[in-house]
Structure 1
Amino acid sequence: MRDGTVMVTGGAGYIGSHAVLALLDAGHEVVVFDNLSTGFDWLVDSRATLVRGEIEDDDLVRATLQKHNVRAILHFAGSIIVPESVSNPLKYYRNNTVASRALLESAVLAGVKHFIFSSTAATYGAPERVPVAEGDPTVPINPYGMSKLMTEAMLRDVAAAYPMNYAVLRYFNVAGADPQQRAGQSTIGATHLIKIAVEAALGKRASVGVYGTDYATPDGTGVRDYIHVSDLAAAHVAALDLLVAEPTRSHTLNAGYGKGFSVLEVLDAVDRVTNMTLNRVVEGRRAGDSAELVADNSAILSTLDWTPQRADLDGIVRDALAWERKLSERD
């Protein structure tokens, strides 16, 4: 921020590293706070300062906030794998909810004015209607979604009690990579469909699993709203600008394009872009998955100074594929 620094937790990870790039490109001073458990120090742009640590480490977090005159936090740190949250719920309540509570307390004590939270469409569970809007019921069907919803509630209560405003961005399915190839999805064993598919296209996987073909969708496979990671990063910068301009208002917004694609449609797009046919292996449904999640994105479009620039599925696949090739060169 022009009168202070933005701290990005999880800024060495997939989405966080793109948000760091967007902030830096917009002229913000940035400090990245990351334990590097799933992130990579080489993903952090050299213009940012990297602090390695746990957000539950109150002393280190508070020292970092003070040293860098942090006035805003973008909070990406956490665990994100839905099936794992079903089998290991306590991990998710610790990493996503308890850790966020510690971060919020440190933020309040340090006088942080603005907070942007990385939430998820999983807070809606299995919505009764699609597209789903921010005011629709939030009934998570997995611990991942519940852990994020609990943090939303904490943030709302904190902002009511202290001089802080916030933006909650409920992500739909994030995909793609920085078009300049400065960052991308680099996690080993990632569960993102497009990441898995481009790995398979480059021979890094033998096949792509299709989990469930009996959903109540046009082709029986799960339908998701895929948003390019660079568009999502730009939305964070726009949200921060709005919080600074209107310090007494907070916002909860869906971050998606308002159009869904099925698993099979995504794999067809990868086939088109790569001019090959992926090996698809049909398996049973995964625990915690819903049939269809598509955003009603009218609120984010009317609230933020933000317009999607990369709402093209084939383009998302091309950027993801280019990044995957770059990763292959690093190996």
Structure 2
Amino acid sequence: MTVLITGGAGFIGSTIASACADRGHEVIVLDDLSTGVAAFADRHRFYRGDIADGALLDRIVRENPDIDIVVHCAAKIVVPDSVADPLGYFDANVARTVSLLTNLTRNGLDRVVFSSSAAIYDTPVDGVVHEGSPVAPPSPYADTKAVVERVLQAGATAGSLRAVALRYFNPIGADPSLRTGLQSPTPSHALGKLISARRDGGRFTITGTDWPTRDGSGVRDYVHVWDLAEAHALVVDRFDEVVGALRPFRALNLGTGRGTTVLELVEAFGRVTGQAPRVELAGRRPGDTAGAFADVSAARDLLGWEARLSVDEGIADALRWADVARRSGLFDHASAPVAH
């Protein structure tokens, strides 16, 4: 099977690309390298450009007429940035996705796996979200994911495409084989900031300690990126079983099925590194919520998928990747290979 992955030079997309390739699929990557790393894509057939570029999509399909399915990962993802620049986020994540889908379906490609977000859910009282939980995106970023899901569902209802949306919270870790990992030396999420603080001798800031959780810090579902990648690859393998003529759009939660608070993540980081991180407390950030974790029973029943790797393993793999990336100079990726 031939898989086109948008955003395939980023953290999530590149890991999905490796998981698909490991299953024997031919992988094609489309990425504009605004945040992605060329080295992550150059092991596959790589096209550099905008997902909304219709002429480029035409060319990709013309040169690769055997494309079977599209995994859509390209998006802006930083919550505080989306609060500061909502129009930019809706342009990048929604408007360009609509153009992408228009050009895909025009070229006869109607099978889409959308890398969505469990951030679209309203914060539940018990901390658990399932696919039928109320949707109430707390930030423009989350709202863009919810809107794209509605676009996909409308297209599926009209018969122009079929789609699976995979909703997940907080990916951590790296490809255990260290082929790819976080592409930024200054990542914005909690584990990345813990690693940066350890490297620089600084403090890790816990934003919000008055949430209605067991220790006051936000609860998250920290899932290993390799588990996420394997779930995406499983959906690629079994797409026609997951969706059908009677249900052309389906959403599935992915995660560990249990919550980890930020303070518990800090404790795990100290356990893995052998040294307790230095922390400081701060107020809530715009767009933050108390958090939640995913009920993943539907993915288990439908795909036979469960997260296998622990939070400690995710931390260990992220640390190993950070060392490899720093030694190799991977973060200095100003130059990129010429796209095919």
Unaligned 5+ runs, structure 1: none
Structure 2 gaps, min length 5: 330-340
- C-alpha separation in 2, matches of 1:73 and 1:181: 24
Match for residue 32 of structure 1? Answer: 29
Conserved in 2, the CA contact under 8 Å of 1:19 and 1:234? yes
Give TM-score scaled by structure 1 length. Answer: 0.95
Whether the 8 Å CA contact 2:128–2:292 is kept in 1: the answer is yes
- The partner residue of 2:58 within 58, 62, 79 is 62
1:330 maps to which of 328, 331, 340: 328
State the match for 2:231 in structure 1: 235
Cα separation, 1, equivalents of 2:138 and 2:207: 17
Distance 1:298 1:25, change over 3 A: same
| Structure 1 residue 132 corresponds to structure 2 residue 129 | yes
Q: Kindly indicate whether residue 200 of structure 2 is the aligned counterpart of residue 204 of structure 1.
A: yes
Q: What residue number does 2:283 align with?
A: 284
Alignment partner, residue 181 of structure 1: 178
CA contact (8 A) 1:11 1:76 kept: yes
Please list, as runs of the form range in 1=range in 2, the aligned pairs for 1:160-171 lying within 5 A after superposition: 160-171=157-168
2:13, 2:188 → 1: CA distance? 17
CA contact (8 A) 1:7 1:32 kept: yes
Q: Which moved more, 1:156-165 or 1:108-117?
A: 156-165
1:109 and 2:106 are equivalent in the alignment: yes
1:163 positional shift: 4.8
Compare 119-128 and 234-243 and name the one that shifted more.
119-128
Counterpart-to-counterpart distance in 1, 2:302 and 2:103: 29
- C-alpha displacement at 1:309, in angstroms? 2.1
Please tell me the root mean square deviation across aligned C-alpha atoms, in Å.
Answer: 1.4
Structure 1 segment 1-331 matched on structure 2, within 5 A? 1=1, 5-44=2-41, 46=43, 48-69=44-65, 70-201=67-198, 203-204=199-200, 206-245=202-241, 247-248=244-245, 249=247, 250-310=249-309, 312-331=310-329
Query: In 2, Cα distance between the equivalents of 1:204 and 1:58?
Result: 44
CA distance in 2, matches of 1:89, 1:291: 22
The alignment partner of 2:58 has SS state of helix
Q: Secondary structure at the match of 1:174?
A: strand
CA deviation vs aligned residue, 1:271-312 (integer Å, no higher than 9, x gap): 1111112111211100111102110111111111323221x1
Shift of 1:45: 5.4
Q: Which residue of 1 aligns with 2:332?
A: none
- C-alpha displacement at 1:247, in angstroms? 4.3
Q: Structure 2 length normalisation: TM-score?
A: 0.92
CA distance in 1, matches of 2:162, 2:127: 29
**SS class of match (1:292):** coil
Per the TM alignment, residue 137 of structure 1 is displaced from its structure 2 partner at its CA by 0.7
Cα distance between partner residues in 1 of 2:144 and 2:304: 29
Contact 2:122 2:133 in 1 (8 A): no
**What amino acid sits opposite 1:322 in the alignment?**
R
Which one-letter code corresponds to 1:231 in the other structure? D
Q: Distance in 2 between matches of 1:301 and 1:141?
A: 27
- Aligned-partner Cα distance in 2 for 1:140–1:308: 25
The CA deviation string for residues 217-264 of structure 1, in whole angstroms up to 9 with x for no partner, is 111100000110000000001111221345434320111111111111
Residue-pair matches, total: 325
SS at 2:200's partner residue?
coil
> Equivalents in 2 of 1:112, 1:18: separation in Å?
23
Residue identity opposite 2:133 in structure 1: D
SS at match of 2:205: strand
Amino acid at match of 1:23: C
Amino acid corresponding to residue 255 of structure 2 in structure 1: G
Identity of aligned residues (%): 38
Residue 127 of structure 1: how far off its partner (Å): 2.9
Helix, strand or coil at the partner of 1:11: coil
C-alpha contact (below 8 Å) 1:71/1:111 kept by paired residues: no
Deviation of residue 171 (structure 1)? 1.2
Runs of 4+ in 1 over 4 A off after TM superposition: none
